[in-house]
């Protein structure tokens, strides 16, 4: 048996689900966590690595990530999928949902066929379709002419992919959404409300149909409105006041200021919030670089991705570890809780808490080592260190277009 399959990380600050453990030890064996706790002598056959007090946390899990290095999951090319997965893994995201932006169903299905060719153990946990069933009024960078209601565009094509699709983001107020929500829920797909103008009443009806998650708070969703003298809650207020709904935060320092991150944390807490990157294909590209994600077009500018008209965001240019760092250092969320938001809670939302998301014996040996400034030093997936160097990005003029 290779020593790489038996690792002892010693003198570590272990991030447990509810506490920090200074000067502790983490034993990884055959792809799983064997022990996490107070220091002890590693058994024979373990390769010992002294971390000098660095933080050790579970591999991060991103349920909303579109691309990196000029490539995107909308491409019908397994090499593109591998490039994106590997780039995010090198930055600490050992598990992700490949998120596909709005496109025509035949193009989406071609991309999903490419993704199915990735091998087990690659870090791909399934896929997330964001569109085409979104509200054009709240579509952001999603082109209005590519959006449809479930009543306009029949959805047998989507149900046929339900074994590979773990999450679908849609606008629950659109005609035909209730039937689609019910059909997806029956097949075990997590249905998320996003790019939506739903009122509180409409969101409540969608929950009855099976919806239980909400995409990127404050981004592409309705807020408080007035009907004459009456105040009518939008999707945002309904979520923040809810019991049971889980939700996402793009805490990249661009989409949301720290104050809004703190509000969401106080309202929902770390066991109902998922930190997400919403990373675009522009992640890792130079400012001014253009990119495509399905029918969506964007450009890298000012530390974020913008639609070409500059009027809306088009995803982020951050990895989930960057989002975690902002959440701790700028929004002042305790590290233990922020790690739950970036690993443990996403795993539970996806129904994978018995496999991954925490440094608990028996779960996957997916590990991120952070220095005292919360920057990634090393990453292990299934107990093996990943290569230190991420794939090279495409140059802007080589960015493919798959509209």
Which residue in the block uniquely carries the two structure tokens 């981004």?
219
Arithmetic mean of pLDDT, 130-155:
94
Judgement on whether residues 234 and 380 belong to the same structural domain of the protein: no
> Which residues contact residue 346 at a Cβ distance below 8 angstroms, ignoring those fewer than 6 apart?
61, 62, 63, 274, 275, 357
Residues 38 and 53 in one domain: yes
Q: Are 339 and 324 in contact (CB under 8 A)?
A: yes
Q: Helix, strand or coil for residue 101?
A: coil
Residue 39 and residue 186 share a domain = no
- Asked whether 346 and 335 are in contact (CB, 8 A), the reply is no
In this structure, the answer to whether residues 235 and 266 fall within a common structural domain is yes
Residue 395 lies in a domain: no
Q: Does position 400 have pLDDT exceeding 50, yes or no?
A: no
Q: State the CB neighbour count (10 A cutoff) for residue 156.
A: 8
The per-residue pLDDT of the chain, averaged, comes to: 93
Domain with 368, as residue range(s), is 3-57+360-385
Query: Do 134 and 165 fall into the same domain?
Result: yes
Both 16 and 110 in one domain: the answer is no
What pLDDT score does 397 carry? 38
Ranges 63-67, 174-178, 394-398: which has the least confidence: 394-398
- Count structural domains, the chain: 2
Q: Per-residue pLDDT for 387 more than 90? A: no
Q: Say yes or no: 132 and 27 in one domain.
A: no
Q: How many whole angstroms separate alpha carbon 256 and alpha carbon 259?
A: 8
Residue 373 belongs to domain with CATH number: 2.30.40.10
**pLDDT > 60? residue 392:** no
Q: What integer pLDDT is reported at residue 193 of this predicted model?
A: 98
Residue 171 pLDDT > 70 = yes
Residue 12 CB partners (closer than 8 Å, separation 6+): 23, 24, 25, 26, 51, 53, 54, 55, 56, 369
pTM: 0.94
Task: Give 283-306 pLDDT, tens digit per residue.
Answer: 999 999 999 888 888 999 989 999
Q: Are residues 251 and 289 in the same domain?
A: yes
| Domain contains 150 | yes
Average pLDDT over every residue of 160-180: 98
On whether both 115 and 19 belong to a single domain, the answer is no
Report yes or no on 94 lying in a domain: yes
């Amino acid at each position: 048996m290779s020593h790489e399959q038996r690792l002892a990380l010693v003198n570590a600050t272990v991030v447990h689900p509810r506490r920090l453990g200074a000067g502790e030890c983490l034993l990884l064996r055959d792809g799983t966590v064997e022990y996490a706790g107070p220091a002890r002598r590693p058994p024979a056959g373990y390769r010992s690595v002294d971390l000098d007090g660095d933080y050790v946390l579970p591999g991060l899990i991103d349920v909303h990530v579109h691309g990196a290095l000029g490539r995107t999951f909308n491409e019908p090319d397994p090499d593109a999928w591998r490039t994106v997965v590997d780039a995010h893994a090198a930055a600490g995201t050992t598990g992700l949902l490949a998120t596909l932006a709005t496109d025509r169903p035949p193009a989406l299905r071609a991309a999903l066929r490419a993704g199915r060719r990735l091998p087990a153990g690659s870090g791909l946990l399934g896929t997330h379709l964001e569109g085409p069933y979104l509200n054009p009024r709240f579509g952001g960078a999603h082109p209005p002419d590519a959006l449809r209601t479930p009543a306009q565009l029949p959805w047998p094509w989507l149900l046929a992919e339900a074994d590979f699709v773990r999450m679908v983001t849609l606008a629950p107020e659109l005609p035909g959404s209730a039937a689609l929500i019910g059909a997806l829920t029956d097949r075990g797909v997590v249905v998320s409300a996003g790019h939506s103008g739903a009122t509180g009443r409409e969101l409540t009806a969608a929950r009855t149909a099976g919806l239980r998650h909400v995409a990127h708070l404050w981004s592409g969703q309705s807020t408080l409105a007035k009907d004459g003298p009456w105040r009518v809650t939008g999707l945002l207020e309904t979520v923040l006041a809810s019991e049971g709904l889980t939700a996402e935060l793009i805490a990249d320092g661009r989409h949301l200021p720290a104050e809004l991150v703190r509000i969401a944390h106080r309202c929902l807490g770390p066991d109902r919030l998922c930190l997400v990157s919403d990373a675009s294909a522009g992640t890792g590209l130079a400012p001014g670089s253009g990119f495509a994600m399905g029918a969506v077009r964007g450009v890298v500018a000012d530390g974020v991705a913008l639609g070409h008209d500059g009027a809306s965001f088009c995803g982020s240019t951050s990895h989930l570890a960057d989002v975690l760092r902002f959440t701790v250092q700028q929004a002042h969320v305790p590290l233990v809780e922020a790690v739950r938001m970036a690993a443990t809670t996403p795993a539970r939302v996806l129904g994978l808490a018995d496999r991954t998301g925490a440094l608990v014996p028996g779960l996957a040996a997916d590990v991120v080592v952070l220095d005292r400034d919360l920057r990634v030093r090393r990453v292990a997936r299934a107990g093996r260190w990943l290569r230190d160097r991420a794939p090279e990005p495409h140059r802007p003029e080589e960015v493919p277009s798959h509209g």
